[in-house]
Structure 1
Amino acid sequence: MQIETMDVQAFTITDVECLDPVRVMIENYEPGKGRITITCFGKAWTGAWFAMSGDTVQQFIKRVSNDYLIGYFAPQMSSEVDDDNDANIEFVKSEIIKLRRLSELTKNEASEMWDAAVSADDVKSECCNSGISPLRNLLGDDPWYAKWPSMPNHEYKYLERIIDTVRVALKKIDASNECLHIGVDA
């Protein structure tokens, strides 16, 4: 049996406004290699790196961007999500107006598209999926890639806030460790 010990730092962050306790466990295997696990409100995010330029996990977390970390912790999460149907209807109406002004739509085509847009329960689906909708050709061959309205993803913002909180905590821990070392050296 072989048993290895490692440098582990674990802490809990509390009393942060509108945030449940954040638990953090950091394992430094050796310089430039390690893992972090962050948990908050029943969710957990883990990342392990084996080429951090000799940094500890603590140093690495403090120097990389939130976008990088969120991309690593939750690769399917986007910083923006689709806006609601009302915003999509306004977008489609603006496209109809633009094409009508360019004379790419007749008055009757524009009117039919307008009526279909304002009555659609899901106008994006009408534009992208429907084979019989008057809106099917409004946005070209691949309407999924049109500049549909979007809004910030609240889950992304939540994870970003947790990561920012962890960074602040790591800086406070560093500062208190420096004070301890200064007191010992004196």
Structure 2
Amino acid sequence: MLKRVFMAPDPGWTRLRFAGRAVLGIALAGTLCGLAGHSLAGTVTGCLAALLALFTVTDTTVRGQAVTTALLPVVGLPVLTAAAGLHDHPVARDLTFLAVVGAGVYARRWGPRGHSLGVFAFMTFFVAQFLHATTGQLPQLYAAVLLSVLAAAAVRFGLWCYERRLPPPVAP
């Protein structure tokens, strides 16, 4: 009975490879942020960016995944700027947060790429609020996000790109 509760079928060890790659990418991003001398807030922001780059990008092709990963900072950094800039204005910050949530949900209409970008924008705004990010911290937070997305991309497309060996998805 307990074996059935804690064991799940994983043909081809797909889930294990996915999780292992994510752990490796997040650990690399955190290590690089620490070696770069980022504060705890910068390291947490970077690790979250790596986590999102590895978990939310679900395009069916490796090329599509690369494009989506490259677009993550394009949506994340402006949202991070807005969250930090509105830190001292709670009403405007909350209204902007609701607008980001709405835009993220609306972006889902563009498939996996829109979903990934919407989740990244939402979580970037959320982590900036959670860590009480201010405009003085923005250069470090920008560097952490960019460094971590690059680390996640290096793991996903360089060190451990198992999608290249998978058969193409079957069209419905």
TM over 0.5: no
Taking structure 1 as the reference length, what is the TM-score of the superposition? 0.31
Structure with max Cα Rg: 1
Whose helix proportion is higher, 1 or 2?
Answer: 2
Taking structure 2 as the reference length, what is the TM-score of the superposition? 0.32
Q: Which has the higher contact order (CA 8 A, sep 6+)?
A: 2
